[in-house]
Amino acid sequence: MRLFRAGERGFERYLTEIEERGVEYRPSLERRVRAILRDVRERGDKAVAHYTNLYDGERVPTHRFEVGRAEVELAYRKIPRGFLKTLERASRRIRRFHRLSLQRSIASSERGIRLGQRIQPLERVGVYVPGGKASYPSTVLMAAIPARVAGVREILMVTPPQQRGGVNPAVLVAADLAGVDRIFRVGGVQAIAALAYGTARIPRVDKIVGPGNQYVAAAKRLVYGVVDVDMVAGPSEIVVVSDEKTPPSFLAADLISQAEHDEMALAILVTPFEGIAREVQKELKRQLDSLRRTKIARSSLEKRGAILIVQDVDQAIEVANRIAPEHLELSVSHPFRLLRRVRHAGAVFLGPYTPEAIGDYVAGPNHILPTAGTARFSSPLGVEDFLKRTNWMSFTGPALKRFDGDVKGFTEFEGLEGHYRALEMRVNR
């Protein structure tokens, strides 16, 4: 893992490179994605079945796209009882946290004028859950529970089929616990297209949420406007800010926890203490030797990761704000003193005993977070993402007349005569 010191040329060059990262745009990939989207829009389920066979290697007939209730109930008997209790506990904690952010409609009145905003849930939402070689029941809980808390009428889930068209039992159980209404064993670009445009078997939705690979990310970006999407996610990221109090073994483990996602994951340690940095380098080597996904993690740490030596903790926070990471750990003695100075981060983990991993599963706050620096202007997935606001207003005749001159002034300045005429007719009457 590379090491850079503040004030040296390599430090600023690396930091600038990280600041300018973004979700990768590849014209050739986008052309392929556009072709699949167009094909599904034109041929519907037949195209979905074709690409499922082509890319997932599974022949799933259109009548078997949807997972039946019997398969979900069987899934409960297939997973270990202990893990079922874990899923139930996680779902309760996630639901409890997200209920805190429920929004309510508002209204006000003044001398013949009534104004307000109505808050309503979306009608139908699609949740994309990555599948194939790995399964992520935690993502199911994080994506679907906020939608259910918001009051979404119907929640659909799509996930790539596994061997013989199956779906991981833990994913099915998580979906059931989260309140998913319908589950489809399709994934990839074809699943995004089906959710966006609708097919005979898969209904069209109003919004698509959930992470996926670069093809899924490109598909979500391209269907935005036809439907809403939560975000276009990039590789996973972590920045760890540490003083000399946290054991180097903790810090190394936290960096590895993100690096093991994939080769493009970003793991950075920022510390004023070079001694800690050296110890973390040693710990990384030791821990990587016993990691099952060591090849992936090692590649990520070597190609993209770094240890940044700064002057003090104040500069460390400024570096973290420049990076605007998905996950930010403040592994320092007094983390809450620093929290108010964090301007850009998807989620913040405070203190040496709050590793990012706890947030991935059972803490309660959502783990679907902005990546690639988008924490500068976007937020974690939450209940508010499944709500829409409608403004309303009501004027009496006398109340409308009080604003005659103001409206006339605006319409004359903007050259919109018809706008004023609509008000003038009422005022004169």
**Residue 243 sits in the same domain as residue 154:** no
Q: Is residue 380 part of a domain?
A: no
5-52: pLDDT as tens digits: 999 999 999 999 999 998 667 899 999 999 999 999 999 999 999 999
79-137: pLDDT as tens digits: 999 999 999 999 999 999 999 999 999 999 999 999 999 999 999 999 999 986 678 99
Residue 369: predicted pLDDT? 97
Q: How many CA atoms lie within 13 A of 131 on its CB side?
A: 30
Helix (H, G, I), strand (E, B) or coil at 266: strand
48, 199 contact by CB (below 8 A): yes
Of 167, 198, 229, the one marking the end of a domain is: 229
Residue 425: predicted pLDDT? 95
How many independent structural domains does the chain possess?
3
Residue 133: predicted pLDDT? 64
**Residue 188 sits in the same domain as residue 253:** no
- Mean pLDDT, the chain, rounded, equals 96
Phi, psi of 2, deg, nearest 5: -70, 155
Q: Which of 237, 260, 283, 327 is catalytic?
A: 327
- Is the pLDDT reported for residue 78 higher than 70? yes
Residue 205: predicted pLDDT? 98
Rg of the chain, C-alpha, whole Å:
25
- Is the pLDDT reported for residue 306 higher than 70? yes
In the predicted model, what is the mean pLDDT of residues 216-239?
95
Q: Is residue 177 part of a domain?
A: yes
Say which CATH number the domain at 321 has: 3.40.50.1980
Residue 25: predicted pLDDT? 72
Residue 26: predicted pLDDT? 85
**Residue 111 sits in the same domain as residue 214:** yes
Q: Is residue 378 part of a domain?
A: no
308-322: pLDDT as tens digits: 999 999 999 999 999
Of 229, 254, 274, the one marking the end of a domain is: 229
Residue 304: predicted pLDDT? 96
DSSP string, 366-426: ------TTGGGT-----GGGGEEEEEEEEE-HHHHHTTHHHHHHHHHHHT-HHHHHHHHHH
- Domain with 410, as residue range(s), is 396-428
**Residue 168 sits in the same domain as residue 44:** yes
Report the sign of the C-alpha dihedral through residues 219, 224, 225, 226, in that order: positive
**Residue 300 sits in the same domain as residue 326:** yes
Q: Which of 58, 260, 283, 326 is catalytic?
A: 326
Q: Is residue 208 part of a domain?
A: yes
170, 135 contact by CB (below 8 A): yes
For β-strands 124-128 and 154-158, DSSP reports them as: parallel
Residue 135: predicted pLDDT? 86
Residue 22: predicted pLDDT? 80
Determine which of 297-301, 391-395, 425-429 has the lowest per-residue pLDDT on average. Answer: 425-429
**Residue 355 sits in the same domain as residue 402:** no
254-292: pLDDT as tens digits: 999 999 999 999 999 999 999 999 999 999 999 999 999
**Residue 213 sits in the same domain as residue 358:** no
**Residue 302 sits in the same domain as residue 424:** no
**Residue 85 sits in the same domain as residue 114:** yes
Token pair of 75, please? 């899934």
**Residue 194 sits in the same domain as residue 61:** yes
**Residue 290 sits in the same domain as residue 214:** no
Catalytic, 334? Answer no
**Residue 275 sits in the same domain as residue 408:** no
Instruction: For Cα atoms 375, 376, 381, give the angle at the middle one, nearest 5 degrees.
Output: 35
Catalytic, 261? Answer no
In the predicted model, what is the mean pLDDT of residues 188-203?
98
Tell me the β-bridge partners of 229.
208
Between the alpha carbon of residue 233 and those of residues 4, 24, 105, 128, 374, the distances in Å are 27, 10, 31, 12, 9
